[in-house]
A and B are shown apart, each in its own frame.
Chain A
Amino acid sequence: MSFKVIKPGFLTTIQDAGRFMHAIYGMSQSGVMDEHAFGWANHLLGNDYTDAVLEITFGGVELEALDEVVVCVCGADLDFKINAKIAPTWKSLQVQPTDILSWSLPKHGVRSYLAVQGGFKTQTLFGSRSVNLREHIGVKITQDCVLACAPSSGQLESFMAPQYRPNYHQNVVLRLLPSYQYSEFSDAQKTLFFGQTYTVSNANDRSGCRLKGVPIVFKRDKMISEAMSYGSVEIATDGLPIILLKDAPSIGGYTKIGTVFSLDLAQLAQQQPTAKVRFELMNIEQAQKERLAFNQFFGVLENSKPLKI
């Protein structure tokens, strides 16, 4: 065992790289919302890409270390402190028994990741440790619960150079692959979609991000429900986009104008309501090239074995 939860925070869950081969049973992909910060947190500890971390949304969390363990916090700056003193993020850190790790308020970004050397060892459910509250798979962390992790293999000194750290205050450009019903939208509708700056609304969670803006008038007689991939953008009946995220239902019945590139969704995951976003087109060759480079850097899926279904 390794950490005791003193304060569980607003929304704090164990997540990993996601739940694959289970969409056939109606399950969401689940997994971390910001794959970039998650990748770095594990990378700086020498972990596997798939190792489970704690995803802390908005802060309000306090943990007490029960053992000596090497940790790394990446992603949002939620005023991370160790023993009430500001502590570095994007850097491996050694913590001692009785040390108190805390995250209070969002200063920069929304979601912070706590990785521990070897990953959290919570129960694997349907091939993943990711908690999905909408699907009743796993639960939020609660006061007094103990988060188990593997014993640390030793101290290490690794960090991400400050100039590479992401700026979550920047306006986000979401690159969109022309997929699904893209070709059914008229030029005027596409001009309206790509030409405007949308605002992230309050209706924004791990399942989807609803945007506010000028509605697109789109009428289709009949849309037969079909599978939705991570990042696909529904145009709801009110003409406004909903970007489908990790906990989204696997099947839905709205028309989709395209699919946002996954690494741009990592940036979206750090935005508060009222943040501004716009869309631009991306082609599949470029998307696959960028994602492949990311996968190779972090060793994504290298160790994964196909699950039986």
Chain B
Amino acid sequence: MHKIILAGENSLLIYFGDKIDPELPKNIANFANQLKNEFSELIINLTPSYTSLLVSYDLNKTSYPIFKSQVSTLLKQWTPAEVEQSFKVIHIPVYYGFEVGLDLERLLAEKALTLDEFIYIHTSQSYLVYAIGFSPVFAFLGEVDQQIQAPRLSTPRIKIPAGSVGIADRQTAIYPTDSSGGWNIIGRTMLDLSLKNPDNLDKFKTGDQVEFYPITRDEYLKYGGKL
């Protein structure tokens, strides 16, 4: 069941479960919407993640005990199944080549897979957006097939180029901008996911689905990909 705990002087954290479950992101997104509608004057930030939702409120207008009890009441009345919400499917082209997939060659050796097999496994399923965080437009996607799961690098890279597609354990993700990070890099998309295009803010939402599809080196370059 739900649990509400203190998270800071103006924040509380609601747990919707204690393990990762594909149903949770949709439910959490749904409840976040309800909260926003119900308490639009009080809420100053909402951060959904795998099993929880952080709610920050304006303590000029309410206090922890009062707000906690209001949230608790709303949780009791709320039935996620009844409220329909639309979630989209996002298609991401990826060039899976050794020159951009910095860890690809090593992973193929470790997993005893051919490149085609690896690509097939990564692209043949749809991934759920479990959370957005780490940096803007960075979507945590799951779950990666067991055959290509790989732990984070023991030493993170200082710079991973924008568009890089990575794997960390059961998760996969795309780095929207150049950044440091410890995920295994398997390919790169030429899509600009940076905030230079402000529409990208809304590109991924928790509960959406992401599907990757392979493109050739020529296609990647033709549509603006950089090596």
Interface presence of B119 (CB below 8 A) = no
Query: Which chain A positions have C-beta within 8 A of B36?
Result: 309
Chain A 171-190 against B: per-residue CB contact (8 Å), 1 yes, 0 no? 00000011110000000000
Interface check A250, CB cutoff 8 A: yes
Question: Which of B19, B41, B49 is close to A227, meaning CB atoms less than 8 Å apart?
Answer: B49
Q: Which of B8, B60, B194: most chain A CB closer than 10 A?
A: B8
B51 at the interface (CB under 8 A from A): yes
Query: Which chain A residues in 280-307 approach chain B with CB under 8 Å?
Result: 284-285, 287-288, 291-292, 295-296, 300-302, 304, 306
B46→A23 contact, CB < 8 A = yes
**A261 contacts B by Cβ under 8 Å:** yes
Which chain B residues numbered 107 to 152 have a C-beta less than 8 Å away from chain A?
131-138, 140
Centre residue among A177, A250, A261 by max chain B CB count within 10 A:
A250
**Distance A51 CA – B5 CA, assembled complex (angstroms):** 33
- Residues in A214-266 with C-beta less than 8 Å from chain B: 224-232, 249-252, 259, 261-262
B90 close to A (CB within 8 Å): no
Residues of B within 8 A of A29 (CB): 45
Query: Are A231 and B136 within 8 A (Cβ)?
Result: no
Min CB gap B160→A, angstroms: 13
* Chain A positions 7 through 26: 1 when the CB is less than 8 Å from some CB of chain B, otherwise 0: 00000000000001111111
Residue of B nearest to A295 (CB): B60
Cross-interface CB contact of B133 among A21, A225, A261, A295, cutoff 8 Å: A225
**Chain A 191-226 interface 0/1 with B at a Cβ cutoff of 8 Å (1 = within):** 000000000000000000000000000000000111
**A262-B138 in contact (CB<8A):** no
- B74 touches A (CB below 8 Å): no
What distance in Å separates the Cβ of B41 from its nearest Cβ neighbour in chain A? Answer: 6
* Beta-carbon contact of B60 and A259 below 8 Å: no
Within 8 A of A (CB), among B1-52: 5-11, 13, 18-20, 32, 36, 40-41, 43-52
Within the assembled complex, what's the spacing in Å between the Cα atoms of A301 and B62? 13
Residues of B within 8 A of A226 (CB): 13, 49-52, 54
Instruction: Please tell me if the beta carbons of A126 and B45 are within 8 angstroms of each other in the complex.
Output: no
Contact of A284 with B9 in the complex, beta carbons under 8 Å: yes
Known contacts A224-B20, A288-B63; is-contact A251 B8 (Cβ 8 Å): no
Please tell me if the beta carbons of B7 and A232 are within 8 angstroms of each other in the complex. Answer: yes
Of residues B10, B32, B52, which shows the largest number of chain A Cβ atoms within 10 Å of its Cβ?
A: B10
The smallest C-beta distance from A178 to any residue of chain B, in angstroms, reads 7
Given contacts A226-B54, A288-B63, A288-B64, contact A250 B47 (CB under 8 A): yes
Q: Which of A135, A179, A309 contacts B8 (CB 8 A)?
A: A179
Q: Are B59 and A135 closer than 8 Å at their CB atoms?
A: no
Say whether A26 contacts B135, CB under 8 Å.
yes
The reply to whether A26 and B138 form a contact with Cβ atoms under 8 Å apart is yes
Q: Is A137 an interface residue (CB 8 A)?
A: yes
- Residue contact B49 to A251, C-beta cutoff 8 Å: yes
A134 part of interface (Cβ distance < 8 Å): yes
Q: Are A249 and B134 in contact (CB under 8 A)?
A: yes
B45 touches A179 (CB 8 A): no
B89 on the interface (CB 8 Å rule)?
A: no
A-B residue pairs in contact (CB < 8 Å), sample of 17:
A21-B45, A24-B132, A25-B136, A25-B202, A126-B201, A180-B7, A224-B20, A224-B52, A225-B131, A227-B54, A229-B8, A229-B56, A251-B134, A288-B63, A291-B59, A301-B60, A309-B36
New contact pairs (14) apart from A224-B50, A284-B6, CB-CB < 8 Å = A22-B45, A24-B46, A25-B136, A135-B177, A177-B6, A180-B13, A224-B18, A226-B13, A226-B50, A227-B7, A227-B47, A252-B133, A304-B44, A309-B46
